[in-house]
Amino acid sequence: MRQRKRKSRGGSVVLDRRSNEWRFFWWEAGKRKSKVLGRFPSKRAASNAAEGLRQQLGEKRSDVVPTVNALIEAYLAEKAPERYSTRRPYDAWLRLYINPRWGDSPITELQARPVETWLQSLPLKGRSKSSIRFLVSALWDFAMWRGDIATQRNPMELVRIKGASTRTREPRSMTIEEGHSLLQRLEEPFRTIGTVQLCFGLRISELLGLKWSDIDWLRAELRIQRSIVRQRVGDTKTAGSRKPMKIADEMLELLKVWKQQSKFSGGDDWVFASPVQLGRLPWSADAVGRAYQKAATAAGIGHVGTHALRHTYRSWLDAIGTPITVQQRLMRHSDIRTTMNVYGDVVTSEAADAQGKIAALALYGNSTQTARKPS
Give the pLDDT score at 9: 44
CA distance 300 to 286: 21
The kind and range of the H/E element at 37 are: strand 31-38
Give the pLDDT score at 270: 95
CA distance 363 to 179: 10
Q: In 263-294, which positions are buried (b, 16+ CB within 10 angstroms) versus exposed (e)?
A: ebeeeebbbbbbeeeebebbbbbeebbebbbe
Q: Parallel, antiparallel, or unpaired: how do β-strands 232-234 and 227-229 relate? A: antiparallel
Give the pLDDT score at 240: 66
pLDDT along the chain (375 residues), means of 10: 42 84 74 83 85 69 76 88 80 93 93 95 91 94 88 93 65 87 94 93 92 94 88 75 85 94 93 92 93 95 91 84 79 53 41 78 72 39
Q: Evaluate whether 196 touches 251 at the Cβ level (below 8 Å).
A: yes
* HSE, side-chain direction, 13 A CA sphere, residue 216: 11
Q: Evaluate whether 177 touches 185 at the Cβ level (below 8 Å).
A: no
For domain 176-364, give the fold.
Answer: hpI Integrase; Chain A (1.10.443)
CA distance 343 to 320: 19
Neighbours of 176 (CB within 10 A): 16
List phi, psi (to 5°) of 21. Answer: -115, 150
CA distance 72 to 342: 40
The kind and range of the H/E element at 272 are: none
Q: Evaluate whether 149 touches 255 at the Cβ level (below 8 Å).
A: no
Give the pLDDT score at 85: 72
Give the pLDDT score at 239: 67
**Domain ranges for the chain:** 3-64, 68-158, 176-364
The kind and range of the H/E element at 100 are: helix 99-102
- Going from the C-alpha of 206 to that of each of 83, 203, 210, 235, 310, the distances in angstroms are 14, 5, 7, 9, 11
8-state DSSP, 304? -
For domain 3-64, give the fold.
Answer: Double Stranded RNA Binding Domain (3.30.160)
Neighbours of 35 (CB within 10 A): 11
- Going from the C-alpha of 250 to that of each of 285, 357, 373, the distances in angstroms are 25, 10, 9
Give the pLDDT score at 113: 94
Nearest by Cα to 59 from 71, 51, 47: 51
In sequence order, the 6+-apart residues with CB closer than 8 A to the CB of 325 are 339, 343, 344, 345, 346
CA distance 18 to 238: 63
In sequence order, the 6+-apart residues with CB closer than 8 A to the CB of 16 are 1, 3, 22, 23
Give the pLDDT score at 150: 86
Q: Evaluate whether 144 touches 152 at the Cβ level (below 8 Å).
A: yes
Sign of CA dihedral 273, 276, 277, 282: negative
Give the pLDDT score at 336: 37
Give the pLDDT score at 217: 94
Beta bridge partners of 211: 270
The kind and range of the H/E element at 242 are: none
